[in-house]
Amino acid sequence: MELNGVYLDELRDFFVKNGEKAFRANQLFTFFHKNGRWDVDNSNLSKKALEIIKVQKISKTEILKVLESKVDETKKFLFELDDANIVEGVLMKYNYGYSQCISTQVGCRMGCKFCASTKAGLLRNLSPGEMLGQVYAAENYYKIKVKNFILMGSGEPMDNFENVIKFLKILHDERGHNTSYRNITISTCGVVSEIYKLSELDMPINLAISLHETNDLDRSAIMPINNRYNLDDLSKALDYYISKTNNRITFEYTLIKGKNDSEKNVRELKNRFSHLLCHINLIPLNPIDEYDEKRPSREDINKFKKLLEEASFNVTIRRELGPDIDGSCGQLRAKLLRGDLNGCCRSN
């Protein structure tokens, strides 16, 4: 059992079954999730309780590297897991508080053409304790409390559904980190079956959909998930999610020059989604070596935004955070693995 990735009830059962008092579970849960620690030898657990937990797993998520932007207050992390796998994370400061981007898998098997995280496929899922560990490691490092979480690091959260939900329920627990579901966003390429599952959980989490194309032919060409669940399937699932949660959907739309930035795209979006309670977030493509496309010019991006607004969509262009410390998901880790991480900015 991963002790720092289970519910308080499970910890209680574990201690009682092993002849210890149930309140030891409360002590340990507080130590893990309120204090954000895993060095249990320094906790106030009894000798007997420490003896009992000794043979169980406690995941440690350590900071391997921190990159701090000189342009803004964005920080990027490389976290090292117990098996020496590496995932990345980002911490951003907004006027309403800190926001952290969390990785949910080592690698990814979704195969989106423009994404660096998926190039080597999926290595493995992260456990709940490893996702919580990213939060606590960043908070301890900067002595802060993070308010908002976006599951938009490496991995497809809906492809690691059970662990992700457990992570979020523990993060939400008022005896631990006490994060509101309203401050959590899951980003998905559109795993429709899991969107339905999430709809039933009574967890009013924000949903962000990586859309990137406006018709099935073009979307399938860059996002293999569209062959499994096409835009009709996705659209129905989103209607259902909104009917259950009343939450607005965010569409992430990575702008690729000459591919998805035309008037036709605006028309197709309008035909399909104008009825939907939604918001469109435009992301200029971050070029990666393996995908030979460019982002549109600033002028063309603004033009596309204006067309969407004229079609009555609510649109923002994603502010580029930490542009000097590498772009989109997977690029930092890939650089580290290539031995190519020096000199881009201050690193610890």
Tallying the residues shown for the chain, one arrives at 348
Residue closer to ligand SAH (CB basis): 12 or 219: 219
**Measured from the CB of residue 286, what is the shortest distance to ligand SAH in angstroms?**
4
Shortest distance in whole angstroms from residue 163 CB to ligand SAH: 15
Minimum distance of ligand SAH from residue 167's CB (angstroms): 15
**Measured between alpha carbons, how far is 209 from 194 in angstroms, rounded to an integer?**
13
Quote the least distance from Cβ 224 to ligand SAH, whole Å. 12
Active site residue 108: no
Given 88, 130, 213, 252, which residue is catalytic?
A: 88
Contact yes or no for 212/252 (Cβ under 8 A): yes
Q: Could you tell me the maximum CA-CA distance found in the chain, to the nearest angstrom?
A: 69
Sequence-distant (≥ 6) Cβ neighbours of residue 49 within 8 angstroms: 15, 20, 24, 27, 28
Residue 237 or 283 having the CB closest to ligand SAH: 283
Q: Which is nearer to ligand SAH, 53 or 87 (CB)?
A: 87
263 is catalytic: no
Residues that bind ligand SAH (CB under 6 A): 110, 112, 114-115, 152, 156, 187-189, 210, 252, 254, 283, 285-286, 288, 328-329
For the bound state, the minimum distance from the C-beta of residue 255 to ligand SAH, rounded and expressed in Å, comes to 8
Nearer to ligand SAH, 32 or 253 (CB): 253
CB atoms within 10 A of CB 205: 21
Tokens, residue 6 = 């289970």
**137 vs 285, which CB is nearer to ligand SAH?**
285
Q: Angle at Cα 105 formed by Cα 104 and Cα 109, nearest 5°?
A: 125
Contact 135, 146 (CB under 8 A): yes
Q: How far is the CB of 234 from ligand SAH (least distance, A)?
A: 12
Nearer to ligand SAH, 189 or 231 (CB): 189
Name the catalytic one among 112, 115, 278, 329.
329
Q: Which residues are catalytic?
A: 88, 329
